[in-house]
C-alpha cells in the first residue's frame, strides 16, 4: 500500500530579510508523475561512441507547478510594498536565487509517497 500526501507547508532555511516571527512560508503541491514529466527534459547526447540518456529538470516548471501559495514574502520597489502570493508573482520580480532554488529543489526531490509493507 502507498500512503500518499498531496503537499506540505514548507519553511525554507533561507530567511534573510524575513520579519521576526513571520518566516517565509510556501504551500507546496507534490508533483504527480505527469507534472514531473512536464518539468523534465529527456535528451540523448551523441558524443563519440558513448550514448547515454540524460534528464534535465526545469526548476522553473517545478516551481510554477508545485507552489500553490506563498506567505510572508514581500518586496519594496520604488517605495511601494508588493506582497508575493503566487509562483507567478515570485518569478515576476528580482528575488533571491538561493530562496528560489531551495523551494524548487524541495519540490523536485519530494514525492509525498511513503511505502508501507
pLDDT (tens digit per residue) in 61-92: 999 999 999 999 999 999 999 999 999 999 99
DSSP 4-33: E--EEEE--S--TTPBTTB--EEEEEPPPH
Which tens digit of pLDDT belongs to each residue from 88-111? 999 999 999 999 999 999 998 887
- Name the burial class of residue 87, with classes exposed (0-12), middle (13-18) and buried (19+) by CB atoms within 10 angstroms of its CB: buried
Domain count, the chain: 1
C-alpha pair distances (Å), 116 with each of 2, 10, 25, 26, 113 = 6, 24, 30, 28, 10
Q: Which domain holds residue 25?
A: 2-115
Amino acid at each position: 500500500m502507498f500512503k500518499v500526501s498531496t503537499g506540505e507547508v514548507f519553511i525554507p532555511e533561507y530567511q534573510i530579510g524575513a520579519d521576526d516571527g513571520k518566516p517565509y512560508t510556501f504551500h507546496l503541491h507534490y508533483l504527480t508523475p505527469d507534472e514531473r514529466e512536464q518539468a523534465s527534459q529527456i535528451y540523448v547526447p551523441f558524443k563519440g561512441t558513448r550514448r547515454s540518456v540524460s534528464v534535465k529538470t526545469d526548476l522553473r516548471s517545478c516551481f510554477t507547478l508545485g507552489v500553490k501559495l506563498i506567505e510572508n514574502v514581500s518586496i519594496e520597489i520604488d517605495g511601494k510594498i508588493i506582497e508575493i502570493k503566487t509562483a507567478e508573482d515570485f518569478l515576476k520580480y528580482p528575488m533571491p536565487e538561493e530562496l528560489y532554488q531551495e523551494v524548487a529543489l524541495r519540490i523536485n526531490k519530494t514525492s509525498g509517497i511513503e511505502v508501507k509493507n
